[in-house]
Structure formats: structure tokens, C-alpha cells
Chains A and B, each alone.
Chain A
Amino acid sequence: MVDAKLPAVTPVKFDAFDFLARFAPLIFLIVLMAVFAIMEPRFLSSLNLFNVMRQVSIVGLLALGMTFVILTAGIDLSIGSLLAFAGLVAAAVSKGGLSNRFTVGEGQDALGYAWYLAALAAIGVGIIGGYLQGFAITRLKVPPFVVTLGGMSAFRGAALLFAAGGPISGFEPNMVWWGQGKIGPLPLLGWQIPVPVIIFLSFAVLAHVVLRYTRYGRQVYAVGGNSEAARLSGLNVRAVTTSVYVIMGFFAGLGAFVLAARLNSAEAVAGTGYELTVIASVVIGGTSLFGGVGTIFGTVIGTILIGVLLNGLVLMNVSSYVQQIIIGVIIVLAVAFDTFAKSRRRTK
């Protein structure tokens, strides 16, 4: 076949705005790091950088799940509460019950269960919690905002009820390793990499592969991009929508396990306010709250960006109250930018 009358295609012009919209998070991150490095030399020390990464890894795990949810134009406000509940269940499994919740150190191993059972318990609680919310959203047709606002209260209540309000502390060393351990030193570089950072980055790669290369990933983008068109293309919109809340629950459970291991303790007030930081990380990473647009790479950058910002502010002795104000303002600005970008796409 000869393409004799192949029509002239308008060359794709360089669009400064498009370029900025795409790489804004990365550019912002680099600028921010440069500013902090100049103002506070301690910021760039490798110890501090790994410290930042370790701090962001739990929020990062949750942000990976939240990326799936927001890509479908959903939202999950319950993650902090679900994380607390799942963490307490994992802690109880590790301790073999609630009776010896405060014993720390050797000698109590015989009573508890292995770390992997604790991890499975946390993830199981997360998945069930996520599924229940997905069910309410797709079958009872309650908006995600309302369902997960309810979940935020209900899971927090469940956590308080489960542990009677108190913490559960002191796990076996094999479990604590998942939160406090390090791998390394790496050959040549000599770095020791915290285990939570490795977990976060591994799952980031996995999530990226799922969203970018699988049929399921396509369906997530399609449902968020235009759910009616997805339905009329024969996609099972309900199943896809439910699944992203299950995935969110999985990451809430995993994050709960890693957090409990890192603190060597679980408590019912853990994860308070996480939903805001997590949503901010995802949105700053370029994922649109309107659905259908966003990447895991963006979310990872967004997570690190928030982590760097908070770490830099701490190093510069900015009060934590001011930090909350900054996070709030950043969320609103990021969404304003997203709305602006969307209206530009429309008028094009």
C-alpha cells in the first residue's frame, strides 16, 4: 500500500506550559533542595537525605495506593484511621494477643506469632476495609468522599476499641527489622539503605508497571478519564472502582506494618492527618483530582517533595504549626494549577 496522499501532519510544537506542567514537580524539588542546601548545610548530608527518605517511605506507600484511587477520580480520607487499626491488629498478632502488650525485649517470643503473620494480618485488615468502602461506593452509590469520611471515623473507632485506647509495644527483632533495619553497606558507595525505603521503592516500581503496562492499568485510567465511555466500551466499571479501594487498603495495611515495626509500637492515634499529606503528595505529583491523569513517577517525586519540605523546615526550626499551614496552602495551589491545566486542555 502506498501512502500517496498522507496528509500533512502539524508538527508537535514545543509548548512551554506543557513542559512545565509535566516536569513542574521535579523542577520544584530540585529548586527546593538547592535552597535548603544553601540555607542549611546539614540538609545535604547523606545521613539526613536517608533520614528524609525513611520518613517519607510510609506516606509514600500510602501515596502509591492513593494514586490508583485518585486516577479513578475518587478519594480516600480513611487511610490514616485504617492504618492505625491495621497496625494494632498486626501488633496484637506479633505479641500473641493483648495480654502482654507492654513487655519489651527477649523472653516473650514464645507467646507471639512470626513477623510474616503480623504483616499478613495488617494487609488483610487493610484489604477488607478497602473492599467494604469500595462496595459502599459502587453498590450503595455513596460518593467516595462520604464513604471514606465515614470510614475515617469508623476505623479510628475500631482501632480505639480494639486496643482499649492504649499502645501495643515491643515486638520480636525480626519484625522490628522491617522498620529499623538497614541493608548494606552498598559496594563502592558504602551507603546503608533503610529497609522501609527499599520497600517503598520496590512497590513504586511494581505500581508503575501495573499502571503503565497492564490491561488493568489501562482500565483504571479509562474509568477515571470517562466512566461512561468506559462502561460503553465494555469495561466493568464497578469492579475497577472497587479494586482501587482494595489496593489502597493493601497499601494502608503494608504501611501500618512498616510503621509499627519502625516505632516498635502501634497505637490507635497513629496516622492522624496522614490523608492530607498523602493526598497532597499525589496531587503535587501531577495526578489530577478529576481523574484519568497522573503517574507513579509523579507521586514518588511529590512524596519526596513534601518530605524534603518538611525536613528542611524542621532543620530551619520552623514550628510544626506553620508546617501545617504550608501543607494546606500547597494542596490548594496544586489543585488550582490542575484546574487551570484542565481548562487549557479543554479550550485547545
Chain B
Amino acid sequence: MTTPSLRVSKISKSFPGVHALVDVNLEVAKGEIHALLGENGAGKSTLLKILSGAQPPDSGEMEFAGQPLVLANPHDAQRLGIVTIYQEFTLAPNMTVAENVFIGREPGSGVFVNWKEMASRTRSIIKSIGLDIDPMTLVHDLSVAEQQLVEIARALSMQSRLIIMDEPTSALSSKEVTKLFGIVRALKSQDVSIIFVTHRLEEVLELCDNYTVLRDGRQVGSGPIAGTTIDDLIRMMVGRQANALFHHEHHSTARPEVALSIKDLSRRGNARDPHATVLDNVSLFVRKGEILGLAGLVGAGRTELARAIFGADPFASGQIYIGKKLAVIASPQDAIRNGIGLVPEDRKQQALFLSLAIKMNVSMASLSHLKSWELFVDERAEEQMVEEFRRALNIRMAGPRQLVANLSGGNQQKVVLARWLALRPQVLIVDEPTRGIDVGAKVEVHNLLFEMAASGIAIIAISSELPEILAISDRIVTMREGKVTGEIDRAAATQEILLSMMTVGASKAA
């Protein structure tokens, strides 16, 4: 192997309260395709941001092509030939392909752009990667796969020596993936180094030369792909020690009656691509008093499923049954009428009214139970209700009229839970119920979920943290790319099994 093109040694980075990266090393040779692996939150994104100049490391050294590498901003990185293609595209949709490829570096003299040269240079670049379109096409007229290729064309136009690809295949069909791999291999043959971030482990075995696995911000393994199996990689990503904090004494309170079942729920089209498969014939059920865990990687369709059941997004086909009765759910109001509640994944954007008092946040969904003289809010009953929830959920607050914005994340989440408990739902869907709250509050929220289940509420819990899923669920359903890939009892589940069900599908997991 030749001298490393990129050498990263002992890089560390902390954010308030979190060690995002601790002493991470990474070496990528010229013409090497290096897989960077890890679960959600393992530190991959932070490392990418450091390599692309978007964030400085707290400590550690980097070397690129034999020179010390110090990046003040993304522009520095680009000038040195380090180009990052992010998962979220950074193209300007209302500009042409050529303009996007050469944005900020338009060929021409003075303030004038030489359109002819820009178009012809763009044409030769996109042709070399098999994209045969007019460089003057507007980007928003392209498919997602074609947009991905435009991103790559832009990277190539910068004479890149290191291209970092963050989940480049997540939006592509298998045919397009094959094409992308061909391009990546061609780049490799031109001595371009590639860092390839993906959740799809089969792809890693097929394409990459070496790997580095991160877990909780630490480098837990690296080496050549040859002789490594998917199981090896999963074991490294998950780690041996399960998180001790999540060992609850939880006994299932599931009852025999089914509270909610869905049959063949399908939905196509999202904001980026009107033809994308979002949900593909999803069927599942949850019993009264049961906690059903819904596991999957980011983009597997868990949140989309939750929103479809709750009527927040429309779905194309399928049925939702409450008990044995078919329910028509076209809006959150319909869902609430049918006894379904949703604690959404993004507390601040989707659940809280930050400018309003705690009590208004608690009572917002149940105002119809708190009326006096029909039109008015019975504020005495309202404050009494908030006081009951303060005790029951142990919400630390100054008073019911305090602004909810001034509470900690954990207490804010309890306020959102209280909003739904006030409605006495039959089914409660909680999407990432402990995201961004501290460990003590996490345990409290878990115990609340257990109490709610014990009272007969059917709970569907979505979490990206596998230890959490394992700790709170009675039964776990895994999803990948909008499909249900498997179902397993908690007693039989381990992180390794779940991760393989989430990444390669049920058939291989057994």
C-alpha cells in the first residue's frame, strides 16, 4: 500500500455534555475506498464535519498528502481537494446543472460568466460518469439519482483527491446503486480516495477496501474488509456491554385483546421524490397494555408510519383498525377521536408551544374536556389537572403559568406526555421519547411508559437507541426502507440480532 493520503490521529471533539469524538484515528490511502461505520449518534457526522472544515476539532492532528491539515472553513478543504457530498443535497434547485457544478467558481473573465465554456466543461464531466443530459437542465427537473450524480460531478470538477460520501445510496434504487459503484471504482482507479459512509453493510463488503467503526465517539475497530463478515461489523457497531442504565425490571403487562392493527399501509412520495417508496404494505398490531418497539435506521419509515397512523400525513392505501372496528383516519382530529395519541420526534418543532405557559401546553389537546359555559376554559379545573400531572410525572416546574420554554428537555417531554395522558388514549405512539434528555429523565420517562402500559394503554415506541428499544419493549418490529423486515420477542432479541434485521432484512437474521 502506498503512503496514506489522509492521516487523522487522536482527534477529539466535545459538545456541551457530550464527548462526540474521543481520540479517533483514521488512515486512508491514495485510491482507497474506506468505509466509515457506526450506529446513529456514533460520531460519524461529527468526524465528517471536521474533515470537511465545517467544525474544528478540539484536539488531535490531521495530515493530508504529507502536509499538516488545518481547515478554517469548508472552502479551505475544497481548495485542497477534499470534497464532501452530504446526505442532504446542497444543490440549488432553480439553477442549471452547469451552474450547480461550477457554483462559486464559474469560468469566465471579470464579472462575466463564460456560459459556453461552463456548459462544455460540465458536459464532459457528467458524460464521464454516465449522465447524459443537457448541462442547461434545471436541477429540480432531475430525479434524485441524477441529482446525486450532479453532486459527484461538482466534486470531480474541483479536482478532488478525497471525496467523502455520506449515505450516498440511501435515496437510490438498486440499479442506480450499481451505477454509482462503477463510478466510485473508476475514481479509485484515478487514485482518488473515497470515504464511504453507509448503513448498508452488504455494500461495504462489495465495494470497500478497509473499514473504521465508531461507537459512542470512539474508534472500536478498523482493518481490511477482506476476511470480515457482516456479523463482525455488527458486533463492533453494537459492542458487548449493554447500557447498564437501561436495565429495568419490566414485566410485560400485555393483555390478549388487540388495541390497534394496521393492514397493508402504503405511501409513496416524499418532499424530495414523488415516486419514493415511503411505506410499503406495512402490517402490524399492538395489544392493550403492550409496548411494541419499532426499530430501524434513520429513513426506515418508522416516523412516517407513526404519522400515517395518526393522520398527520396521508397514506395511499391500507386500513387501520381500532380493536376490531375499521377506523377512518384522515387527520389528527380523527386519530384523537379514535383514541390515538402521538408524541412526535421533534419536541420543539412539532409538540411544544414555546411561547405559551405550561398549563396551556398540557391542556391544548383536551380543551373540550375543560369547558365552562361552552366557550370558556375552566381554568380552575385546568390548573388542578396540571397539578395532578406535576405530581404523577414528577415535573419540575415553578408553577402552571411558567413558560414551557424555561423547562429542561426532560420536563418538557413530560409536559408533552401529560398532554396525551389528559386525553386517556387507547393507543399512544411515542417517537424518540427520550431524545435529547438527560439519563435520569430517560429512566423516568421509561417508567412512565411502563405505568401507562400497565393501565391498559397500547404503546408503540420508536427509538434509534437499540438499548432503549430492548429495555422498554415487550415485542419488537424492525423496518427497513418502508417495509417491515421482522418481528421478535424481547426475550429473544439482542442488539446484534436487531441490527442485522434492520440492515439486511429478516431472511438473513434467522
A343: Cβ under 8 A from any B Cβ:
no
B355: Cβ under 8 A from any A Cβ:
yes
A200: Cβ under 8 A from any B Cβ:
no
Q: Report chain B residues within 8 Å CB of A3.
A: 391
B376: Cβ under 8 A from any A Cβ:
yes
Q: Report chain A residues within 8 Å CB of B149.
A: none
Q: Report chain A residues within 8 Å CB of B353.
A: 221-222, 225-226, 229-230, 292
- Contact B356 A222, beta carbon cutoff 8 Å: yes
Query: Which residue of chain A lies nearest to B388 when distances are taken between CB atoms in the complex?
Result: A1
Query: Which residue of chain A lies nearest to B351 when distances are taken between CB atoms in the complex?
Result: A229
Bound-state Cα–Cα, A160 to B203, Å: 70
Among A199-230, those with CB < 8 Å from B are: 213-216, 218-219, 221-222, 225-226, 228-230
Among A3-29, those with CB < 8 Å from B are: 3, 7, 9-12
Among B341-391, those with CB < 8 Å from A are: 342, 344, 349-356, 360, 363-365, 367-368, 370-371, 375-377, 379, 391
B406: Cβ under 8 A from any A Cβ:
yes
- Contact B406 A232, beta carbon cutoff 8 Å: no
- Contact B356 A221, beta carbon cutoff 8 Å: yes
- Contact B310 A232, beta carbon cutoff 8 Å: yes
B333: Cβ under 8 A from any A Cβ:
yes
Bound-state Cα–Cα, A87 to B280, Å: 58
Question: Assuming the A-B contacts A1-B391, A10-B398, A345-B355, are A215 and B310 also in contact, with contact meaning beta carbons closer than 8 angstroms in the complex?
Answer: no
B332: Cβ under 8 A from any A Cβ:
yes
Q: Report chain B residues within 8 Å CB of A42.
A: none
- Contact A222 B360, beta carbon cutoff 8 Å: yes
B336: Cβ under 8 A from any A Cβ:
yes
Query: Which residue of chain B lies nearest to A226 when distances are taken between CB atoms in the complex?
Result: B353
Q: Report chain A residues within 8 Å CB of B355.
A: 221, 225, 288, 292-293, 345
B322: Cβ under 8 A from any A Cβ:
no
Q: Report chain A residues within 8 Å CB of B406.
A: 348
A-B contact sample (13 more), CB < 8 A, given A225-B353, A232-B342, A292-B356: A7-B394, A9-B398, A215-B370, A218-B364, A225-B356, A226-B350, A226-B352, A229-B352, A232-B310, A232-B332, A234-B335, A345-B354, A345-B405
Kindly provide the distance from the CB of B433 to the nearest chain A CB, expressed in whole angstroms.
15
Question: Assuming the A-B contacts A9-B398, A235-B364, are A215 and B333 also in contact, with contact meaning beta carbons closer than 8 angstroms in the complex?
Answer: no
Bound-state Cα–Cα, A348 to B402, Å: 14
> Can you identify 5 A-B contacts, CB atoms within 8 angstroms?
A11-B398, A222-B360, A232-B344, A233-B365, A292-B355
Query: Which residue of chain B lies nearest to A223 when distances are taken between CB atoms in the complex?
Result: B353
Kindly provide the distance from the CB of B295 to the nearest chain A CB, expressed in whole angstroms.
23
- Contact A233 B364, beta carbon cutoff 8 Å: yes
**Residue-by-residue, is B386-423 near A (CB-CB < 8 Å gives 1, otherwise 0)?**
00000100101110001001100000000000010000
Bound-state Cα–Cα, A215 to B344, Å: 23
- Contact B375 A9, beta carbon cutoff 8 Å: no
B258: Cβ under 8 A from any A Cβ:
no
Bound-state Cα–Cα, A7 to B351, Å: 25
- Contact A218 B344, beta carbon cutoff 8 Å: no
Residues of B with Cβ closer than 8 Å to A?
310, 312, 332-333, 335-336, 342, 344, 349-356, 360, 363-365, 367-368, 370-371, 375-377, 379, 391, 394, 396-398, 402, 405-406, 419
- Contact A232 B377, beta carbon cutoff 8 Å: no
A221 CB contact (under 8 Å) in B352, B360, B402: B360
Q: Report chain A residues within 8 Å CB of B402.
A: 12
Query: Which residue of chain B lies nearest to A221 when distances are taken between CB atoms in the complex?
Result: B356
Bound-state Cα–Cα, A12 to B403, Å: 11
* A-B residue pairs, 9 tightest by C-beta: A225-B353, A292-B355, A234-B336, A233-B365, A233-B364, A215-B367, A225-B355, A234-B333, A7-B396
CB-based A-B contact count at 8 angstroms? 88
Question: Assuming the A-B contacts A225-B356, A231-B332, are A218 and B398 also in contact, with contact meaning beta carbons closer than 8 angstroms in the complex?
Answer: no
Q: Report chain B residues within 8 Å CB of A234.
A: 332-333, 335-336, 365
- Contact B391 A215, beta carbon cutoff 8 Å: no
A320: Cβ under 8 A from any B Cβ:
no
Kindly provide the distance from the CB of A15 to the nearest chain B CB, expressed in whole angstroms.
11
- Contact A232 B350, beta carbon cutoff 8 Å: yes
Kindly provide the distance from the CB of B186 to the nearest chain A CB, expressed in whole angstroms.
44
Question: Assuming the A-B contacts A7-B396, A233-B419, are A214 and B356 also in contact, with contact meaning beta carbons closer than 8 angstroms in the complex?
Answer: no
- Contact B351 A232, beta carbon cutoff 8 Å: yes
Q: Report chain B residues within 8 Å CB of A216.
A: 375
Kindly provide the distance from the CB of B466 to the nearest chain A CB, expressed in whole angstroms.
27
Q: Report chain A residues within 8 Å CB of B344.
A: 232
- Contact B398 A12, beta carbon cutoff 8 Å: yes
Query: Which residue of chain A lies nearest to B363 when distances are taken between CB atoms in the complex?
Result: A218
Question: Assuming the A-B contacts A232-B310, A232-B332, are A214 and B364 also in contact, with contact meaning beta carbons closer than 8 angstroms in the complex?
Answer: no
A103: Cβ under 8 A from any B Cβ:
no
Kindly provide the distance from the CB of B364 to the nearest chain A CB, expressed in whole angstroms.
5
Bound-state Cα–Cα, A222 to B352, Å: 9
Kindly provide the distance from the CB of A139 to the nearest chain B CB, expressed in whole angstroms.
15
A192: Cβ under 8 A from any B Cβ:
no
Bound-state Cα–Cα, A236 to B402, Å: 26
Kindly provide the distance from the CB of A238 to the nearest chain B CB, expressed in whole angstroms.
10
Bound-state Cα–Cα, A78 to B368, Å: 34
Question: Assuming the A-B contacts A222-B360, A226-B354, A233-B365, are A213 and B377 also in contact, with contact meaning beta carbons closer than 8 angstroms in the complex?
Answer: yes
Kindly provide the distance from the CB of B256 to the nearest chain A CB, expressed in whole angstroms.
30
- Contact B350 A228, beta carbon cutoff 8 Å: yes
Among A295-348, those with CB < 8 Å from B are: 345, 348
Kindly provide the distance from the CB of A50 to the nearest chain B CB, expressed in whole angstroms.
34
Query: Which residue of chain B lies nearest to A219 when distances are taken between CB atoms in the complex?
Result: B367
Bound-state Cα–Cα, A230 to B351, Å: 8
Kindly provide the distance from the CB of A68 to the nearest chain B CB, expressed in whole angstroms.
15
Q: Report chain A residues within 8 Å CB of B394.
A: 7
Kindly provide the distance from the CB of A338 to the nearest chain B CB, expressed in whole angstroms.
12
Query: Which residue of chain B lies nearest to A231 when distances are taken between CB atoms in the complex?
Result: B332
